[in-house]
Chain A
Amino acid sequence: MTISTSLGHLFPLTGAALVGLGLFGFISLRHPLRQLLAVNVIGAGIFLILGGLGRGEGVTDPYPQALVITGIVVSVALTAVGAAMITRLAEERRAAGTASDQPKDQGP
């Protein structure tokens, strides 16, 4: 493997590492907001794999770029929904906490 080809894999490999890192963060972190951040790291890693492998000689494939842009927008939309759910849940917990004890969640 020559230097240039191995360097060609530099960004996708970084992306792979980010995916692993984010996954570890998602599993080991407890607070959902931090998990949300971890999910964003995973997403960034995936995009880097996709985009990084589309770098040819001198020209970068626009096709994965377009997919990545779509992916980034979807991911920000989901992050916003997640953040809103987390804050609303905290509000509800607080409201329930001031009124009475938080009812236990059903189901295993």
Chain B
Amino acid sequence: MTSAFELILCLMILGTACVALFMRDFLAAVAFFVVFGNLMGLAWLTLGAVNVALAEIAIGAGVTGVLLVLSRSRLLALGEEISCGPAKPWLRLGAAAACSVFTAVLAAAVLSIAPDDGLAPVIDGLMPLIGVENPVTGVLLAFRAYDTLLESFVLLGALVAIWSLAAPAAWPRAPAALRMTDPAALNVAGSFGRLLLPVALVMAAYLVWVGSDDPGGAFQGGTVLAGGFLFAAMGGAIGLPRSDNSALRWSLVAGPLVFLAIGLAGAALGRFLAYPEGTAKALIVTIEYSLALSIGVTLALLVAGPPATTETGL
């Protein structure tokens, strides 16, 4: 029963991926991509990785989907076709052959690796030291906190990179507005956004809070927050901030800064990113809240794009 379900799920994942890649209409392709992302989330749930499932659905499917739709509409507004652009037949054929061979080799390699629980016992043994229950949070914010710290800077850097693309005259204005142009849609989105933002705030706070013991955490919470911001912006409930807004700057850097400061405090007491005994959980929760705020704001602005001179609506 379970096996049949898994088999069907995998086939559907492959099918939706195919459609998302090769559908002529890009909007439909993105729609299928979002479905694909959600199916992936389902796959992660099946694998017992609830944390990943949440992240995949929220970020992989949600944020990426919105990003692609938004880019599509901006490109269409600029008069650019997002062609399916069939490459030359011989190239396609060659690529297909090469990719099949590669896939076969990869599959063989994958088959020769036995699935196991890997480091789970090691991690189980270490969890009591940090006082949180969710082992994924433990890995992300304690055992491999260094990865996560650098990753938070990748996210921040991505936003800076996007800002650097701004046209000369656009700096330091706000990104192009996300406001819906259709009045009816705007009306719906407006009221929905006003309603959603506080809900998102509460939900994000909750996700981060439970994240220390149950699935959830800064990334998932931050994404929900970003979703709330984006909806509110689409409905016109909030405007997008200028890039030199100092409150914005502080909220962007809050998470990475707190993380870095706690890491350095650890270094002053002994070891970089080590938490003194007994304080681990408190410090982790502090980091997670500030990270969630920064991630939420950053993700929302990543989607919104570089500062712009013209108002191009959806």
Q: Give A contacts to B, CB under 8 Å.
A: 3, 5, 7-25, 27-31, 33-34, 36-38, 40-41, 44, 47-49, 51-57, 59-70, 72-81, 83-88, 90-91, 93-94
Contacts and interface: CB of A to CB of B under 8 A. Distances in A.
Contact of B115 (A23, A47, A55, A88): A55
B302 A22 contact: no
Main secondary structure of the interface of B (DSSP, over half): helix
Interface in B229-259: none
B14 A18 contact: yes
Contact of B154 (A7, A19, A74, A90): A74
A88 to B, nearest CB: 5
Contacts of B17: 18, 21-22, 41, 44
A77 B301 CA distance: 11
A86 B172 CA distance: 20
Nearest to B166: A88
Contact of A83 (B71, B79, B144, B154): B71
Given A12-B110, A27-B87, A72-B56, 10 more contacts: A11-B10, A13-B110, A20-B103, A33-B72, A37-B20, A53-B110, A65-B52, A73-B59, A81-B302, A88-B165
Contacts of B22: 25
A25 B19 CA distance: 11
A76 B63 CA distance: 8
17 contacts: A10-B10, A12-B110, A14-B14, A15-B110, A18-B14, A20-B102, A27-B95, A30-B85, A31-B85, A36-B68, A55-B47, A59-B48, A59-B117, A65-B52, A76-B60, A76-B67, A94-B79
Q: How large is the interface on B (under 10, 10 to 19, 20 to 34, 35 or more residues)?
A: 35 or more
Interface stretch (B25-33, B184-192, B201-209, B280-288): B25-33
Interface in B108-152: 110-111, 113-120, 123, 135-136, 138-140, 144, 147-148, 151
Contact of B99 (A20, A53, A80): A20
Contacts of A51: 44, 47, 49, 52
Contact of A16 (B49, B107, B154): B107
Contacts of B182: none
